[in-house]
């Protein structure tokens, strides 16, 4: 959402920034906002609950207090997190117009919590900012209530805007021991919470034909301990296990690596940005970003050691000729989104004034 926030500032559109509290480390969240050079947070919802259902319930109550009396304003939510669904639901209940940035993505994999969140948020929204025509077709097929706009994805805007900041802080690259490497991320529940799946993926990384740099999510570290492979990974000469990275450090590693292996949806998009342009192997059985696959940037590698290694060998052996454009937009999505927001709010104001004249 950072490009939308910057564009609202640039066009002098008043807004409030709400920190949902979904991530447990409050100070880390504030540091992230400072690093992105975003404005001060107006409201912070410090949550005590940890399970998803309790956390969402607590967020609903606290967010309801913040949004009370804001019927004439628009609530913008992004993506497919628990925050997205919770905020969209609260917005509807307090009578606000809800706009969903990154609407219409579908994996058709109901095991994924993100699939529940984005589908429900789409059907609660009045305005849907679809990143691509594929996303728009998904929304039309589901007969959503709101108005659909194809804008591109703000992820591409964010990479373009933040890469110069990242290069100012490129210290992470000096700590990488490999000249050429694959960059790996792994965090999804269906991968790291399933012992068999996690063993398959980690075994593939250890035997990878190209060395691996692996910034490990805390959830993944816990999974490695559980399956008794943490020491094996740490002692492997083929894998460099590093602590979780900030956004800017990760951008630097994406720009330097030879290819990316990931189960992240956002990284599938970021890899297509013109300042990165790296091939991606998706460590999943399905993806809600088929545009990356169709454009030739990404390929589904599954979660079994044999298929991951086979696809990795294929990718390394063939000459890489990636498209000269991103299927997720031209880096101008935030400008389109803010223009539509302004038009929508202006229309609401005009409608309200007309209604008041009729009442009088």
The residue written with tokens 């460099």 in the block is 240
Q: Which helix (H) or strand (E) holds 315?
A: helix 305-317
Cα separation, 356 vs 73, whole angstroms: 17
Q: Which residues lie closer than 8 Å to 163 by C-beta, 6 or more apart?
A: 251, 255, 273, 275
Q: Which residues lie closer than 8 Å to 205 by C-beta, 6 or more apart?
A: 184, 212, 214, 233, 238, 239, 261
8 Å CB contact between 176 and 354: no
Cα separation, 153 vs 299, whole angstroms: 20
Write out the DSSP string of 255-266: HHSSEEEE--HH
The yes-or-no answer on residue 187 being catalytic is yes
- The catalytic position among 116, 123, 187, 304 is 187
**C-alpha pair distances (Å), 75 with each of 3, 91, 132, 163, 204:** 16, 6, 22, 28, 43
Show which residues are catalytic.
187
């Amino acid at each position: 959402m950072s490009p939308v926030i910057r564009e609202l500032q640039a066009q002098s559109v008043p807004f409030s920034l709400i920190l949902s509290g979904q991530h447990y480390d409050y100070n880390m969240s504030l540091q992230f906002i400072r690093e992105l050079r975003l404005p001060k947070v107006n409201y912070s919802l410090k949550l005590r609950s940890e399970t998803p259902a309790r956390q969402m319930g607590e967020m609903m109550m606290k967010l309801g207090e913040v949004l009370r009396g804001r019927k004439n304003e628009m609530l913008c939510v992004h993506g497919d997190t628990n925050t997205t669904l919770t905020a969209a639901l609260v917005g509807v209940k307090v009578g606000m117009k809800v706009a969903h940035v990154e609407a219409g993505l579908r994996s058709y994999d109901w095991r994924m919590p993100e699939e529940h969140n984005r589908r429900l948020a789409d059907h609660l929204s009045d305005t849907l900012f679809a990143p691509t025509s594929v996303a728009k077709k998904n929304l039309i097929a589901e007969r959503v209530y709101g108005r659909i706009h194809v804008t591109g994805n703000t992820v591409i805007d964010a990479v373009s805007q933040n890469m110069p900041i990242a290069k100012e802080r490129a210290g992470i690259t000096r700590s990488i021991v490999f000249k050429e490497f694959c960059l790996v991320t792994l965090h999804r529940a269906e991968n790291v919470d399933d012992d068999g799946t996690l063993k398959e993926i980690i075994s593939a990384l250890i035997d990878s034909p190209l060395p691996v740099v692996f910034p490990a999510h805390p959830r993944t570290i816990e999974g490695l301990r559980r399956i008794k492979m943490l020491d094996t990974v740490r002692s492997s000469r083929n894998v460099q296990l590093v602590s979780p990275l900030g956004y800017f450090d990760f951008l630097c590693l994406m720009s330097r690596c030879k290819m990316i292996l990931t189960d992240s949806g956002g990284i599938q998009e970021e890899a297509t940005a013109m300042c990165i342009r790296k091939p991606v192997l998706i460590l999943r059985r399905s993806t809600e970003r088929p545009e990356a696959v169709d454009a030739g940037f990404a390929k589904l590698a599954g979660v079994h050691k044999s298929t991951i290694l086979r696809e990795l060998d294929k990718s390394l052996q063939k000459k890489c000729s990636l498209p000269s454009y991103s299927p997720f937009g031209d880096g101008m999505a935030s400008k389109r989104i803010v223009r539509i927001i302004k038009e929508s709010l202006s229309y609401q104001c005009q409608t309200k004034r007309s209604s008041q004249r009729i009442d009088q």
